[in-house]
Amino acid sequence: MIVNLLVVSSDFSPRSWGIGAYTKELSTSLSKGNQVTVLATGIPDAKAFDQGCSYLIIRTPSFPVLRYIAFLIYIPWIIRRYHISTVLHVVWITSLISHLWYCLIPVPYFVSVFGTEIRDDKISWRRRLKYYLKGWRIVALRKAKGIFPISHYSARLVMSLGAEKNRIEVIFGGIDTQRFKPITNHQESNRQKKLLTVARLDLNKGHDYVLKALAILKEQGLAPNYTIVGQGPEEMRLRQMAQVLGLESQVEFTGFVPDNQLAAIYTSCDIFVMASREIPGRLDLVEGFGISFLEASASGLPVVAGNSGGISDAVQNGKTGLLVNPDSPEDIAFAIKRLLTDEDFARQLGNEGRRWTETQMSWEHVAKRMVNAMQRMR
């Protein structure tokens, strides 16, 4: 059965990270065999990208107040204009609009949940607003025909808001296994091993504790290089830390790397490490899943990951990588050392990661699961 689907998202590529990338990859896979229309926030320089997509993309104004007024008007108009049969909201807040219109336009809607967007905290004005909208959030999720958390961690958050278990199906994020794939015999046996982190430079991503782990390894006679890809508010502090720890010659900060160059970065490295952790008082900084772990596994890299949030769904401990205590530089150092010194074990993890992502985590697999769930829950 072909689904005529409207995908609603506050963010949508050409941004190459987070919800924007998720929405783009999911919409592209859903459009193979289904009719897909995307409604998303307008961003600069999106016109050429939108025209290159095989499905219709409709943009709202980018200014926050006008954006949600546009969502309120556009959603019912698109449903009627394009004969939409199902609506998928990539974030919960726009699902309020489907709920408000449901009595006049009874089109079933579904909601994807990442985790941080439904946590309660009052750090910023936007998150304070979401906190005070908690009652509406509960209504929107309870009235959805189905909810698709990206991890079991996110599913627990949804159930804590009162959503029934039979309307929840965990559907992991996916990965483009044709784009991210290993390169056979690319490594010179005598070169220095290289670690990699691809993430925004935020406090919770654990770059600082990886640097401390490298200092521990250096004292033990191991000095792998470390490539840090990304930008963010922690960059200056991390650069200073690398200098204080005497790691300048080992650590490279690349800054932003274009999406089309990212796959080559993965295959140039040996181990992926991201020790994401939970920060007290910062409920917005929790890893709901971690697509970059899948990118690494699809590229054939063994993974060292902080055991927090929904990461245990993205990294199979002892099979595709090693889960560590993200608050312990010693634990991180021990895991890295094991992969540096036991090449057979590291290769085994990388090979299993590739097999797992290829057979179970492709975007095509994710889209098929989601369509089946929608048809079953309608």
What's the pLDDT score for residue 218?
97
CB 125, CB 102: distance < 8 Å: no
What's the pLDDT score for residue 367?
95
Residue with more model confidence, 97 or 1: 97
What's the pLDDT score for residue 131?
52
The tens digit of pLDDT for each residue in 168-193 reads: 999 999 999 999 999 875 555 567 89
Scan for tokens 């990208």, then name that residue.
Answer: 49
Name the pLDDT band for 27 (thresholds 50, 70, 90): very high
What's the pLDDT score for residue 280?
75
Asked if the domains at 4-174+362-377 and 194-360 fall in one CATH topology, the answer is yes
Residue with more model confidence, 161 or 299: 299
Name the β-bridge partners of 108. Answer: none
Beta carbons within 8 Å of 302's beta carbon, 6+ residues apart: 271, 272, 320, 321, 322, 339, 345, 346, 347, 349, 350, 353
Beta carbons within 8 Å of 91's beta carbon, 6+ residues apart: 9, 10, 19, 111, 112, 114, 117
Name the pLDDT band for 297 (thresholds 50, 70, 90): very high
Distance between CA 267 and CA 195 in Å, rounded? 11
The tens digit of pLDDT for each residue in 353-374 reads: 999 999 999 999 999 999 999 9
Distance between CA 175 and CA 241 in Å, rounded? 33
Mean pLDDT of 49-58: 90
Mean pLDDT of 321-340: 98
Highest-scoring range by mean pLDDT, 109-118, 155-164, 188-197, 302-311: 302-311
pLDDT of residue 129 exceeding 60: no
What's the pLDDT score for residue 277?
92
Portion of the chain with pLDDT greater than 70, in percent? 89
What's the pLDDT score for residue 128?
52
What's the pLDDT score for residue 214?
98
Distance between CA 375 and CA 378 in Å, rounded? 6
Least confident residue range of 46-55, 147-156, 201-210, 362-371:
46-55
What's the pLDDT score for residue 125?
44
Least confident residue range of 116-120, 136-140, 296-300, 339-343:
116-120
Amino acid letter, 310: G
What's the pLDDT score for residue 42?
87
Q: What is the mean pLDDT of the chain?
A: 88
Least confident residue range of 61-65, 214-218, 274-278, 353-357:
61-65
Highest-scoring range by mean pLDDT, 16-30, 115-129, 276-290: 16-30
Name the β-bridge partners of 272. Answer: 196, 303
CB 40, CB 57: distance < 8 Å: yes
DSSP strand pairing (109-113 vs 146-149): parallel
Pick the CATH number of 4-174+362-377 from 3.40.50.2000, 3.40.140.10, 3.40.50.620, 3.90.1150.10: 3.40.50.2000
pLDDT of residue 320 exceeding 70: yes
Pick the CATH number of 194-360 from 3.40.50.620, 3.40.50.2000, 1.20.1600.10, 3.40.50.300: 3.40.50.2000
Whole-number Cα distances in Å, 114 to 169, 173, 288: 13, 9, 5
Region of 121 on the Ramachandran plot (φ > 0 left; ψ -120 to 50 alpha; else beta): beta
Beta carbons within 8 Å of 240's beta carbon, 6+ residues apart: none
Distance between CA 302 and CA 315 in Å, rounded? 10
Distance between CA 197 and CA 219 in Å, rounded? 22
- What angle, rounded to 10 degrees, do the helices at 291-298 and 343-360 form? 110
Sequential DSSP letters for 282-301 = BTTS--SS-HHHHHHHHTT-
Least confident residue range of 10-24, 39-53, 83-97, 234-248:
10-24
Mean pLDDT of 328-333: 98
Residue 115 half-sphere exposure, CB side, CA atoms within 13 Å? 26
pLDDT of residue 314 exceeding 90: yes
Mean pLDDT of 315-321: 97
pLDDT of residue 133 exceeding 60: no
Residue with more model confidence, 225 or 67: 225
Highest-scoring range by mean pLDDT, 22-26, 101-105, 350-354, 372-376: 350-354
Amino acid letter, 268: S
In what helix (H) or strand (E) does residue 343 lie, and over which residues does it extend?
helix 343-360
Residue with more model confidence, 216 or 131: 216
Scan for tokens 């920060």, then name that residue.
Answer: 279
Residue 179: Cβ within 10 Å count: 14
**Domain assignments of the chain as residue spans, ordered by start:** 4-174+362-377, 194-360
Amino acid letter, 252: E
Residue 295: Cβ within 10 Å count: 22
Beta carbons within 8 Å of 176's beta carbon, 6+ residues apart: 25, 298, 362, 363
Distance between CA 257 and CA 295 in Å, rounded? 14
